[in-house]
Amino acid sequence: MSVHHGLRLRGDDESWALFTHVMKVNIPPELLKLRREIVIRCGGLPLAIVRLADVLSQKDADIDEWSSVLQQLDQDQEQVWSKALSKINEDLPLYKQRRLFYFGLFPKDYEIPVRRLIMLWVAEGLVQPEVENEDPGDVAGRCLIELIAEDVVQVTKKKLDGNVKTCHLPYALRRHWLSKAQQATFVQVYAKTRSELSISTGLVRRLVDHLDKEDFSFDHIHGHIHVVVTSMVTTTLDLKHTYISTLPSSIWKMQHLRHSLLSESYRSRFTLQPRVCSLIALQTLWGLFVDEKTLVKGGLDRLVNARKLGLACRLMPSQQQTMLSQLEAVANWVLKLKHLHTLRLKSDDESNQPWDLDLKPLSGHVNLSSIYLLGRLKNPSIVSEFPRNLSDLTLSGSGLMEDPMLKLDKLPNLKILRLLAKSYTGKLMLCPSGGFPQLRVLKLWKLEQLEEWNVEEGALQALRDLEIRSCIRLKMLPKELLHRSLLELKLTDMPSQFTA
């Protein structure tokens, strides 16, 4: 497929930046109120943004007149996207069109998390691996990138590492596409009665439906009503933003389940494991709450194909010895996960203060690229044994007394580093010459004992985004960084003498 309608679609922030640049005048308060509407209506099209800004810059501050200009913009966009739709209809296979139809199931103007969209595409069977043993999620990710590259899908937000975080269909395209989608068998009309949770024969309930507060099942999922997850053939299980705390034993029978995202804030747990475990395909287990009752050894540690693991461990004062055993069991389980590429471990007490975190050397985990650790590291030397492919690292509450920079600087692919509250308790920090060759983002938060930070010549050459927050004893910015023209510096809650 080849659809062209100008330059690359701009995200929301990019669109507003371009709009204000073209206006070349102070934006009046009345127009600021229309920011969201302007960004949405332009649909990321640079030519539409420029044209609208040019027209509005020549008019007086009259809200009615601006509204009429926006209406005219809608008509112009309809013509642009009608041509694009014709091209899509001609060149895009039905199975790819269905991926676009799926956008219509989300609420209007909703910024769709890429993670959720990819998982839902996979669950609906809208992507098929092209080679044996290829992960469907990877295929779905490539499909989305293709649609973005063709300017059909608009990126709304990006992550720090540059990857897409949220997206949606451009405003005018969505209106046209939904009218076509309503005619397709993929989009169906569902019963809206709140008196029942059962579904009419032949109709499929989709997770995206539950994002709509008007949907009859919204209260059952987001309210204080216990929802039972039954054993079924699914890959459709995302409970991340729900109040579901306990999953029934039937989850262990879900042999096709690939991704399970749980409600960490509501302490989602697995019930005791039955004799038979069929979760052999599970690749994502995120937000699971682990306490003294969780069966880790001989239970969770049998899930050895996980690629993305996020656990929250909570200590109870009366169960310290049990929890030490649990943390060791978690560490041994992580050590067995040779396919792991994302790891997040949290360990705190009942007062939400960091507690002990056990971890074994991970240098052999060649696929592991992202690590988030919250808790006091029982083995501080672990920071020198992270895998070389690590690109994103966050440490919080680690209690390190030795400068971590002298160990982390050797990681050749590290792009994002966050040292958060109590991760390092020393007074001096040094980034040696040639260190951190790929690091682009560095965040230093609440390192309350840090007094002096030195950066040697040739270190941090790729750094573009530096944020220092609440490092109350830090005296000054390293001289090596003072004249970096491409460096974006953000200071929050810093002493006046530092900012001066």
pLDDT at residue 162, rounded to an integer: 81
Helix (H, G, I), strand (E, B) or coil at 320: helix
d(CA 416, CA 414) in angstroms, rounded, equals 6
Q: Report the candidate in 148, 158, 167 with the shortest Cα–Cα distance to residue 465.
A: 158
* 348: in domain: yes
pLDDT at residue 427, rounded to an integer: 97
Residue 323 belongs to what domain range? Answer: 207-499
Residue 288: count of CB within 10 angstroms of its CB: 22
Lowest mean pLDDT among 58-62, 195-199, 340-344, 345-349: 195-199
Residues 215 and 177 reside in one and the same domain? no
Higher local confidence (pLDDT), 338 or 178: 338
DSSP letter at 479? G
Contact 121, 206 (CB under 8 A): no
Could you give the count of Cα atoms lying within 13 Å of 38 in the half-sphere of its Cβ?
Answer: 26
Residues 304 and 427 reside in one and the same domain? yes
pLDDT band at 211 (very low <50, low <70, confident <90, very high): very low
Q: State both tokens at 455.
A: 């950066």
List the end-to-end C-alpha distance of the chain, in Å, as a whole number. 55
pLDDT over 70 (residue 128): yes
Contact 79, 56 (CB under 8 A): no
* 2: in domain: no
Residues 251 and 391 reside in one and the same domain? yes
Q: Which residue has the tokens 């204000």?
A: 20
DSSP letter at 7? S
Q: Select from 139, 166, 181 the last residue of a domain.
A: 181
* 194: in domain: no
pLDDT digits (tens, 9 = 90+) for 198-210: 333 333 344 444 4
pLDDT at residue 205, rounded to an integer: 40
* 196: in domain: no
* 193: in domain: no
Written as one string, the DSSP assignment of 188-227 is ------TT-----TT----GGGGG-TTSTTHHHHHSS---
* 200: in domain: no
d(CA 100, CA 305) in angstroms, rounded, equals 31
